[in-house]
Amino acid sequence: MNCPHGHKEMKIKKSEEKVCFRDVQLSIPVEQYVCPECGEEAGTIDQAAAIQKSIADAYRKSAGLLTGKEIVEGRKKLNLTQDDLVKKMSVGIASIKRWEGAGIQSKSMDQALRSALHGQNTGDSCTGNRSFSLPRIKLVFVELEKALGKKLLKKNDKMLFAAKYLWYADMIAHRETGQSMTGATYAALPLGPQLNNYRELIEDIIKADPSSDEPLSPEEKRILTRVALRFPREQLVLKAAHGEPAWKKKSNGQLIPYTDSGELTAL
Ligand SMILES: [Zn+2]
């Protein structure tokens, strides 16, 4: 790479730089080109990407989260492909790819990652003994919307209400059938139980083809009817969820395991 000011070839310079990221001071290794004559600095796209990854990893280290490298190494140690990890954790492949790169996982997803990378079958309590299924989530919403006579899921939805209906449906199914309806994982957020990673899933739920997975059983349909009858208005499901010990006892971001389904009080 030549200096843009007409000087000769620039030289690679390695240094430690201080950056502030999410209010944390981080020291990261930086590699870029510097002109020995005028001091002009320039970086390639690859170098910029490496810096992004260094920032993400330094931040994760400081926050006690697994780094991208640790996730890749942990996965390879267990001989798991990214797809295997997707199945184990009930997340999208895009999430795994991001976390192994410059993306930063939430605390609850870090917890799930650690369990999965220890080879534990925690997928069971996270997913309620069912493989995560977007088509089934769609099926549940279609059924609930029919019973409630209104739309629950809209574009750019924050799922404030929809996630609570879904949570009750999954938890009650787990309690009564030993298996969740959708395999979804839930986290305790300030506004109540929420579908984990909902921001990344919502478009896929809306687009999902409900006929591409097992149809709802009569028992599951009966549970959904009960959920709709118990919470005919959205405010009711919100209020009920906020009264559940299964949510109240959790710290912010903590996963709500299906094993708590026995503690439900509203239904
Ligand atoms: Zn120069």
Task: pLDDT tens for the chain, 267 residues: list them.
Answer: 899 999 989 999 999 999 999 889 999 999 999 999 999 999 999 999 999 999 999 999 999 999 999 999 999 999 999 988 877 876 667 778 888 999 888 776 788 889 899 887 555 678 887 889 999 999 999 999 999 999 998 777 888 899 999 999 999 988 877 778 999 999 999 999 999 988 889 889 999 999 999 899 888 999 999 999 999 999 999 999 999 999 999 999 999 988 788 889 999
Q: Is 45 helix (H, G, I), strand (E, B) or coil?
A: helix
CA of 34 to the centre of ligand 1 (A): 8
CA of 31 to the centre of ligand 1 (A): 17
CA of 55 to the centre of ligand 1 (A): 28
CA of 30 to the centre of ligand 1 (A): 19
pLDDT value at residue 91: 60
Contact 172/266 with Cβ under 8 angstroms?
no
CA of 54 to the centre of ligand 1 (A): 27
CA of 77 to the centre of ligand 1 (A): 46
CA of 32 to the centre of ligand 1 (A): 14
Give 46's Cβ-side CA count (13 Å radius): 1
Specify the amino acid at residue 78: L
Within 20-133, residue ranges assigned H as helices are: 45-62, 68-77, 82-89, 93-100, 107-117, 123-127
What domains can you pick out in the chain, each with its CATH number? 11-62 (3.10.20), 68-120 (1.10.260), 134-263 (no CATH)
pLDDT value at residue 265: 95
pLDDT value at residue 27: 94
CA of 9 to the centre of ligand 1 (A): 8
Rounded to the nearest 10°, the torsion over CA 120, 126, 128, 134 is -120
Contact 202/159 with Cβ under 8 angstroms?
yes
pLDDT value at residue 154: 79
Contact 27/17 with Cβ under 8 angstroms?
yes
Specify the amino acid at residue 94: A
CA of 33 to the centre of ligand 1 (A): 11
Burial of 98 (0-12, 13-18, 19+ CB in 10 A): middle
